[in-house]
Every structure is written in C-alpha cells, then in structure tokens.
Amino acid sequence: MKFQFRRAVMVLAFFSVLAGIHLYITTQNVTLKYRLTDTKIKLEELRAKNRQTGNIVAAKENMAYVEKQARGKLGMVYPEKIRYISVTKEAATRP
C-alpha cells in the first residue's frame, strides 16, 4: 500500500511539474506574441513617418519651391542679361 501511495504521489508531482513547465512556456509564448505585435505596429508607424518625411524633403527639394522661396523670402532675382562687346586694337584706332 505504501508503495502504491508513494508511486501515486510521485506521478502526481511529476505531472504537476510538467503542467507548470507547460504553463510557463505557454505564458512566455503569449508574451512574445504580444511583443511581436507591438513591434510590428511600431515598425509600421515608423515607416509611415518615414514616408511623410520623405514627402516633405521631396517638396522642399523641388526646384519650383526653391525658386519661390528664394524670390519671396530672400528677395533674389535672376541676373540681368549683360552684353559684352569685344574691342580689338584695330577697332579702337578707327575714326
């Protein structure tokens, strides 16, 4: 009788340990899945922000925008056309 009782207690303890290990592993698995989901959400948010930043940079690098800012804020204008006349010694001595 004592042997069967001890055996039953040992089997119960063994299955309790296995159940505890299974519970721990399942809990860790669920926790990792939540962390993975959160990380994926953050990654998508960062990708969206990166696209927005890229669009802003592209708009600022647009030459029409740069020219408008240069004219409006900085008062810049295109240089006037300057015509140069080449004078040689022969032309300078003619009356």
Tell me, what's the pLDDT at 57? 92
Domain that holds residue 70: 2-93
Tell me, what's the pLDDT at 94? 59
68 vs 39, more confident: 39
Return left, alpha or beta for 94; rule: phi > 0 is left, psi -120 to 50 is alpha, else beta.
Answer: beta
The tokens of 42 are what?
Answer: 């953050």
Tell me, what's the pLDDT at 42? 98
> For residue range 5-55, what is the model confidence (pLDDT) as tens digits?
889 999 999 999 999 999 999 999 999 999 999 999 999 999 999 999 999
Q: Which of 89, 65, 67, 87 is nearest to 77 (CA)?
A: 67
- What is the domain count for the chain? 1
Q: Scan for tokens 């001595």, then name that residue.
A: 93
Query: What DSSP string describes 17-36?
Result: HHHHHHHHHHHHHHHHHHHH
Predicted TM-score of the model (pTM): 0.55
The tokens of 82 are what?
Answer: 């300057």
